[in-house]
A and B are shown apart, each in its own frame.
Chain A
Amino acid sequence: MSRSRRDIAWIPTFAVLVAFAVPWPLWGVDLTVAGLPVWIWWHVAWLGLCTVLFSLFVRSGAWERGMGRRPESGAGSALGGDRR
């Protein structure tokens, strides 16, 4: 139960990932860092973060649980012994 409750946290996480892929806090900022406007760096870093978190989402097994399925074992998922 606690596992699926923790899975709920992915919904706001995805919402934040989508919402702040646009660098809203830097609206109107015109600073240039390392050859590019700083808000472009925000976006680059953010998409990197997305890939990291997406891979966490997949590896934790939340990918299957989100569709009401059991993660297949052996797919690199850290299931632990608490499934039974």
Chain B
Amino acid sequence: MIKFLIKGLLRDRSRSLFPVLTVSSGVFLAVVLYSFMNGVIADMINSTARYQTGHVKVMTQAYAEESNQMPNDLALTGINEITQTLKDNYPDMIWTARIKFGGLLDIPDEKGETKDQGPVTGLAVDLFSPSSPEWDLLRIEKSIIRGRIPVERGEILIGDEFAGKLDIAPGDTATLISSTMFGSMAIYNFKIAGTVRFGISAMDRGAILADIADIQEALDMQDTAGELLGYFPDNIYNDEKAAEIAASFNRQFKDPDDRFSPIMRTLPVESGLSDYIAMIDSMGVIIVSIFIAAMSIVLWNSGLMGSLRRYGEIGVRLAVGENKTHIYKTLILESLFIGIFGSVIGTAAGTGVSYLMQIYGIDYGYLMKNSSMMISNVYRAKVSTGSFFIGFIPGIVSTVLGASIAGTGIYRRQTASLFKELEV
């Protein structure tokens, strides 16, 4: 019987082609939408983790309260010892100290007079230690647009767009005017080693990347850093594990009575992305629900049309002695074949397109000129295990559901007038 049904499906394109196209289109859209949203949000989380929060972040409690103001006067002191403690206690994590700072970047002309000047935010990271993880974390080498990577103290990288605005090039000098952690004025000369594209509009427009030792010297922050960031070695955020590490650290080191005692926060807490991350979890459910509902309605309609078209065939089958339940089952079995076939095609096409979008991405930088969010300019999809199921299972479920609803018409079919009906 199964062979008989498959032959019917293969030969009667109106029985199979439209439903297969409908299912595969729906599955394709669901997979691409899911992968794209997954990619954009994962990218946002990665960018936020890479530049702002790490997967976990250690600060003083006072710094944590005002962290958006980059309050380096509240930074962690004895950073080398704390780093070593973290490495000892959590050897599976990558730990790195950073200082965020702000100020003015002054560009002198050949006479040393100010040629141009602009507000700047800066990120100080370990550029020169042999074991520094920052090159990989920030993908510094891949981000160079002009010039080269810094090779010695006193050299910085500057956002390419920012460099254009200030009309400076690699080899030029730039002076950072800021304040030390004790509140006095800090002036420090840097040489531009190269320009970079951070890939985040907010940073491309006005950020520099400097060595942490230079900034510690410039801002009078010896053995001090604003933040100590921890990353999972595979660079994939694991909320459960991060929360466990943070809780264990805070139990051991956090002192509620001491504002300068360290506190560890996880990425969602620190970035305010917790709701977003919760949304990602529910996103799959939302997509699947909408998809199943919409597709079931379409396929229900398609099933009804099919039933009308196959009215004669079903009449003959009833007359020949096939009972209604058997016919109903065969219609559902047919829909199962269509669902599987359509879902395989839709999933294959959807993951294929998503994979291409993962590799090449879509550059929306021109739309984000004024954005201050830590979102990558290039939107990429992310093909994950979920991509293979998000459309496949609902594709089958909706096809079978649509056929099940449409097929109930069989039970309303009266055999009493079959002879008359089949004379048409």
Partners in one complex: no
